[in-house]
Chains A and B, each alone.
Chain A
Amino acid sequence: MRADRSRLPDVGPDPAFRFPSIARHTLHNGLQVRTVEHHTVPVVTLVVQMDTGAVADPPGREGLAAITADMVDEGTGSLTAIEVSEGLARIGAAYDVDVGADATHFSLTTLSRFADRGATLLADILLRPSLRASDFDRVRQMRLDRLRQLKDLPSAVAERAFLWLMYGEHPYGHLSIGTAQALDVLALEDVAAFHAARFRPSRATITIAGPLSHGGLLRLADEAFSGWSEDSTPVEMEEPREVGLQGDAAVPTRLAVVPRDGAPQSELRIGHLSARRNTPDYPALLVMNAVLGGQFVSRINLKLREEKGYTYGARSGFDWRRGMTPFSLQASVHTASTADAISDCLAELDGIRGSRPPSEQEMSLAKASLTRGYPRGFETAQQVARSVAQLALFGLPDSYFEEFVPRVHAVEAADVVRAAERYVDPARAVTLVVGDYEAVAESLRPLGLGEPQVLPADV
């Protein structure tokens, strides 16, 4: 039978999919454990989520959470940093640390036959780090050098400046790597104190996914982590103060520039603070973002890339946090197209709020791509463990995966417009340009965003 090329083939009904079922356990020391049976290849992933992200950095100690996370695998007990890495390499483990705004994830993936050794190593790293002075000096210096290098990377410069514009001096306002001023004065004692106060079973959740029974997965956690004792000294930990929609900036800025002489492109960020991850409007915001800039066929990519050719790609998104989350459009555009691209972006932000509400076709495309593609994210043990850890991070229910599809389906076009009116506002948006200031300055004036605030690459 030959193909009928007069029309695209129909897509059949969505295949059934059983999302992972999560079992929760609590070890006697208070450590929360979540296990997920994942029977594919013999690979196990463990994710330990410590309740300490960049937001936990004390003022003047920006980068403390990240350098602590970096220091813990620099030797444990009598082992040196190299010997710890040797231990990981000898089980073919992939060890990864991700310091986010709200939490830090320590992940270890290894072959099932090495799962016991993997869990033990991970526990050694987190519970019994040596925290030696010589390692600290080296790690701190490397982080300072890294910060210097980031000044040449336009995307990193933009991320750093944008966070600062959003949050000012609030602890969300810096990259997890911190600042040179803070790293200069950080001492090993800061790391030791931070570790002692924060790395406690009551502030951690471990998620394990792999081809074992819930009991077998739990045993891995129990044997490796049950010796973790809760320090009886109470710790006074200040929760980060609330930040409002306007952030902490004293004078609202509409336009900011980080000059980069001769740059062939301008790295753009356009956005503002918007909502918290636990907002009930989350599904409506996901659909809104899919229409506006969350995928290839979204409005801003079609406009800036496929219609105008200004960029290799443009997108928008929420950098979800427990607290106020930034929403932004991002693109790296040809220097000569900078002002036109900004103006197009601002017009799209305005359009989604009502002058151009999502069409029926856009709604159906956005919802279908979010829901039909959802099972794809549950293929590997690592994907599963990380997704479950996200539930822990944001306090979402174990039924979350099952409920996701119906919740997205329930979103109507009117909900999207309402969400956009409430959470997206071009009049409140800050436009940041990392680019050739001299080349673009004149063209920015007619945008009516006022005099730009000029920032250094390491604000």
Chain B
Amino acid sequence: MLGVDSLTLPFNKRTLANGLDVIVHEDHHVPIVAVNIWYHVGSKDEQPGRTGFAHLFEHLMFEGSEHHNAGFFAPLQQAGGVLNGSTNTDRTNYWEVVPTSAVDLALWMESDRMGYLLPAVTPERFENQRDVVLNERRQNYENRPYGFALMAVTAALFPEDHPYHGLTIGSADDIRAMRLEDVQAFFRAYYHPANASLTLAGDIETARAFDLAERYFGELPPGPRAAPARRTAALASEVRLVLEDRVEMPRVYMAWLSPPMFDAGDAELDLLGDLLANGKTSRLYRTLVYERRVALDVSAHQSSRELAGFFLLVATAAPGGSLSDIAAIIDQELQRLIEAGPSESEMERARVQVAAHFMYRLQTVGGFGGKSDQLNAYNVLRGDPGFFPADLSRYREATIVSVRDATARFLGFDRRVILSVVPRGQHGLALSGSKPVSVS
């Protein structure tokens, strides 16, 4: 009756002799196949002075490989496919969604750039993509309201030598200073079968999928297992910062260090974000936006990553609303949650929403967040593509007490970063005691 039986994500997995994990999920509703590959490398693996490198490297993966020494978009778009890639702190993913008739093509191309990228990386291509990435940074950070806020937040949360200190996009100076030589070492260290996970999902038989994976990837030699990056972060006090920006309304960002993905408390903080600040039913929307009208918007989420997480709460002041009023109301609500936890009614609502969102995640085979991407995420970060039901259980098993305890344990008032972003020249709108910070 609850429809729980259909909440599964079945698959088969094999590991090739060279260490490449291959995962297959069949779904024959539409004649398309999603090819998705994760490399277990992200900005966390960058060297000091080389921030932004993992992401710039991702761009080069679309510019050609030894046996197809030209852009990757043309053949795949000609075949009716779509493709993209992305880099975050922990991993870099690449995907294609192609008609069933073009699976060979997609696998040929993915395997060629895994095995034979370097001969195609020329100085011209490298410099061109460096300019493209500088423009990506301008468009998404420098020329966008509040675009620097998250950089200031992670820089304050994580110490300078922590892999999460900077955002994946990197610093503009570092991007400008990058050299072609760096590409080769990075490729050899991280882009090989033993550091990758390949998922095929969609209109393909499992046996054929494994055969094709072997045919295209089996010849590639394994590389060294990457040593996991490890650093710890801790906040000993409340850090108050202020950043001036070209914005109309002041905004406050509150951030706490929190558990890494899948660790104890991660699911609870995820649920907390929803009941605290997401949507009109959330506590802070109700008080800040609906009743008191001191804020225009409020949101919160547990940003959980492989090495560490952070819980982020953001609220934008309404005209006439002050950041100090907003911060005081947030603290009151947190205090109530630390003392009493959520209500049973809130937990019931959260359980239905979780079930629905897990179901919605089963609707597409490809792209960012589709079934192929999820199977790879579970495989790379848990070593188990079958983690879907266990992931769901983490949320199902959360209780009033466990949410309350996670709130109390991780969201202390005395160890957080509070950033005020204020209109230029209006420093006085920041929370009291905030130290100016500059980001560029």
Q: Which residues of A contact B (CB under 8 A)?
A: 1-3, 5-6, 8-17, 39-43, 81-82, 85-86, 89-94, 109-113, 138, 141-142, 145-146, 148-149, 151-154, 263-265, 267, 295-297, 305-312, 332-334, 364-365, 368-369, 371-376, 378-382
Contact = CB atoms under 8 A, between A and B. Distances in A.
Interface residues of B, number: 83
B300 to A, nearest CB: 16
B145 A152 contact: yes
B3 A112 contact: yes
Contact of A369 (B29, B77, B219): B77
A305 B59 CA distance: 12
14 contacts: A1-B215, A11-B99, A82-B281, A92-B353, A92-B357, A148-B319, A151-B248, A310-B131, A311-B139, A312-B133, A312-B136, A365-B74, A372-B81, A373-B81
B296 A146 contact: yes
Contacts of A2: 215, 218-219
* Top-4 shortest CB links A-B: A372-B80, A92-B356, A309-B131, A15-B31
Given A263-B143, A311-B135, A89 B77 contact: no
Contacts of B112: 5
Interface centre among B67, B82, B109, B143 (most CB of A within 10 A): B143
Nearest to B203: A15
B362 interface: yes
B100 A15 contact: yes
B110 to A, nearest CB: 11
B438 interface: no
A305 B71 contact: no
Given A43-B360, A138-B290, A152 B352 contact: no
B66 to A, nearest CB: 8
A41 B365 contact: no
A295 B77 contact: yes
A89 B30 contact: no
Given A15-B99, A90-B352, 16 more contacts: A2-B215, A3-B108, A5-B116, A12-B100, A13-B101, A16-B31, A43-B360, A85-B280, A141-B293, A264-B143, A267-B143, A296-B73, A309-B135, A364-B78, A373-B80, A382-B363
Nearest to A17: B31
B280 A81 contact: yes
B132 A368 contact: no
B77 A375 contact: no
Contacts, number: 223
A334 B79 CA distance: 33
Nearest to A40: B29
Nearest to A333: B135
A369 B138 contact: no
A265 B139 contact: yes
Interface in B126-184: 127-136, 138-140, 142-145
Interface of B: 1-3, 6, 29-32, 66-68, 71, 73-75, 77-82, 97, 99-102, 104-105, 108-109, 111-112, 116, 127-136, 138-140, 142-145, 203, 215-216, 218-219, 246-249, 279-281, 286, 289-290, 293, 296, 316, 318-319, 348-349, 352-353, 355-357, 359-360, 362-365
B352 A92 contact: yes
B101 A11 contact: yes
B135 A310 contact: yes
A148 B219 contact: no
Given A81-B290, A85-B281, A306 B128 contact: yes
B101 A307 contact: no
A371 B139 CA distance: 32
A89 B360 contact: no
A109 B78 contact: no
Contacts of A305: 132
Given A297-B73, A312-B136, A375-B32, A111 B356 contact: yes
A87 to B, nearest CB: 9
Given A82-B280, A113-B3, A146-B296, A312 B139 contact: yes
A89 B281 contact: yes
A142 B280 CA distance: 14
A9 B74 contact: no
Contacts of A371: 80
A267 to B, nearest CB: 8
Nearest to A369: B77
A264 B138 contact: yes
B232 to A, nearest CB: 35
Contact of B105 (A8, A82, A112): A8
Contacts of B316: 149
Contacts of A85: 279-281
A379 B30 contact: yes
Contacts of A40: 29, 363
B215 A332 contact: no
Contacts of A376: 30, 32, 80, 82, 97
A1 B352 CA distance: 49
Contacts of A86: 281, 349
B359 A91 contact: no
A375 B145 contact: no
A380 B112 CA distance: 32
Contact of B216 (A3, A41, A369): A3
A36 B412 CA distance: 51
A242 B365 CA distance: 44
Contacts of A379: 29-30, 32, 363-365
A297 B73 CA distance: 6
B209 to A, nearest CB: 15
A132 B286 CA distance: 17
Contacts of A295: 73, 77
A149 B249 contact: yes
Nearest to B280: A85
A9 B127 CA distance: 30
